[in-house]
Structure 1
Amino acid sequence: MPRIIVVEDEADLRDDLVEYLDRCGFEVRGASSGVELDGLLESHGADVIVLDINLPDEDGFSVARRVRAASQAAIIMLTARSSLIDRVIGLELGADVYLVKPVDFREIEAQIKALVRRIQKGAAPVAVPAPAPGLASVAETKKSWQFDDVEWRIQPPEGPAVPLTATEYKFLALLVVAPGEPVSRQDISIALTGRDWDPYSRSIDSLVRRLRIKVEERTGCALPVQAVHGVGYAFVGAVVTTASEDGTG
């Protein structure tokens, strides 16, 4: 059973989220500070940490840096800070996901499930959606699609980068966490709309169709997003997540 620690100093929010994730089938514990988190990591360990940035005893950025240096647990930062610089700092310090409050608990659940899928495949968690700039090797980048988390772009191994809308970005961010691993329509729907998937809705399929056309028209390359019958969609090409330093690719 995946082990989750929710670090949040607002007691009501922490208790509600712990209760929700417990009902989702996770082993969940709550902490109100960095010190409590340290104790839980030592006594119980964790697969995923949901971490608030504004903590009473230690800034969440500092906690993330310290935890990343000593633990393989994935980190989801949950914060009211929505600026790009805060987001970039959080990801560079080791966060795997950066969510801005207010956020639906179902989106947190979907992100946790995506991270757990990657962990269960035997891969160490990487930044989701983005690792620190420069993490991928030059050789790996040249032969792979590049998903730019800061500029919100997707780029084929050979060809120009294609800018993404917020919805396109969220969709691809789910898929590139674990290339080849299908993401369910339910998880996609929750991440994009905050609502359960409606089997009668074709909105996800329409999104994928438009995105495929957009990428192929601008690059001449087919976007390697494949439908998985009865499940959802998967990114079936080699992909690295990058963060452009100059905004030009």
Structure 2
Amino acid sequence: MVAPVIVVVEDETSLRRDMVEYLRSCGFDALGARNGQELDEHAAVKPVSLVILDVNLPGEDGFKIASRLRENRDLGVIMVTARGSTVDRVVGLEIGADAYLVKPVEMRELEAQVKALLRRLESSEAKPAQAAPSAPAEEAGEEGRWALDATEWSLTSPAGVRISLTSMEMKLASLLAAQARQPATRDQISMALYSRRWNPEDRSIDTVVGRLRHKIEAAIGGTAPLKSVHGVGYVFSAQVRVL
């Protein structure tokens, strides 16, 4: 079995070396990179499964790299930084980071995050084990339903396409699923995502919704049932089972 490739992007040499050596001792194919350019060079040679990304990098910072990775690649992103403010965490998660750790990072905690994220990614790539050609009459009510898995952080279409979700996307999907096809207000969404009331000048909700809609449509090759309700907020217009 080929070990997952993990790239640690960290400009502090000793920390980068320690993290790479620890991950290698855990059985991963870990590589070090000082910046985004070296990360791209590694990715050009072998497929990267997960990136551990420092925020405070010289030149292209971690936020910009994470945003670029989300536009071009479907891989795991764990952001690591000395900054501990809520704003930095929110920004990191909004642009698509799957996890956010604050320095000094306990290596065992990093290992746990890496393993959990890789499990979610592997689950999202796996095809459904069985696909019955037709549903029995008593199961007809399940047809057309989406499924939201709170353990694996994934959303599965009625056709069996599984979509891996980030932390922010999972919070949004959970709220909309709980609304039972009724619109969630922007205040409700803001409280669920950021634990604060909605500010009309804040476009972060639209960013998260837009990213989730784009991810769904790219996966299913059609229109996502994630709709805007003018003057209210957003609604997931299809039936959803929460697993």
Where on the TM-score scale, by shorter chain, does this alignment land: which range? 0.5 to 0.7
> Contact conserved, 2:17 with 2:32, CA < 8 A, in 1?
yes
**1:125 to 1:12, Cα distance in 2 relative to 1, 3 A:** farther
1:126 matched to 2:165? The reply is yes
Report the identity percentage.
45
1:140 aligns with 2:177: yes
Structure 1 residue ranges (4+ consecutive) displaced by more than 3 angstroms after TM superposition: 146-152
Judged with a 3 Å threshold, the aligned counterparts in structure 2 of structure 1 residues 124 and 8 are, in CA distance, closer, same or farther, namely: farther
Aligned residues of 1:92 and 1:132 also touching (Cα < 8 A)? no
Whichever of the two has the greater Rg, that structure is 2
Tell me the amino acid that sits aligned with residue 64 of structure 2: S
Aligned Cα root-mean-square deviation (Å): 2.8
Extract unaligned runs of 5+ from structure 2.
126-161, 182-188, 197-240
1:141, 1:100 → 2: CA distance? 31
Q: Quick one: structure 1 residues 9 and 124, their matched pair in 2 at CA, closer, same or farther if it must change by over 3 Å?
A: farther
Match of 2:195 among 148, 151, 154: 151
Greater RCO, 1 or 2 (C-alpha within 8 Å, sep 6+): 1
Go from structure 1 to structure 2 and tell me whether the alpha carbon gap of 1:138 and 1:132 turns closer, same or farther (over 3 Å shift): closer
| 1:114 corresponds to | 116
Shift of 1:69: 0.4
- Residue of structure 1 equivalent to 2:43: 41
Cα distance in 1 for residues equivalent to 2:62 and 2:56: 6
How many Å apart are 1:40 and its aligned residue?
1.1
SS at match of 1:67: helix
Deviation at 1:78, TM superposition (A): 0.2
Write out aligned runs for 1:1-249 (5 A).
1-121=3-123, 122=125, 123-127=162-166, 129-131=167-169, 134=172, 136=173, 140-142=177-179, 148=192, 150-151=194-195, 238=242
Q: Post-superposition shift, 1:125?
A: 3.9
Change (3 A) 1:143 1:102: farther
Task: Count residues in correspondence.
Answer: 152
CA distance in 1, matches of 2:164, 2:176: 21
Distance 1:125 1:7, change over 3 A: farther
Give the Cα–Cα distance (whole angstroms) in 2 for the partners of residues 105 and 6 of structure 1. Answer: 13
TM-score in terms of structure 1 length = 0.55
* Per-residue deviation, residues 88-135 of structure 1 (Å, max 9, x unmatched): 0110111000111111011110001001111121255421x333875x
AA paired with 1:142?
A: Q
How much does 1:149 deviate?
A: 5.6
Structure 2 SS opposite 1:20: helix
CA contact (8 A) 1:64 1:75 kept: yes
- Structure-2 separation of matches of 1:132 and 1:59: 26
- CA displacement, residues 60-108 of structure 1 (integer Å, 9 cap, x when unaligned): 1000000110011110000011111111011011100011111101111
Q: CA deviation at 1:55?
A: 0.9
Counterpart position of 2:130: none
Distance 1:41 1:125, change over 3 A: farther
Deviation at 1:53, TM superposition (A): 0.5
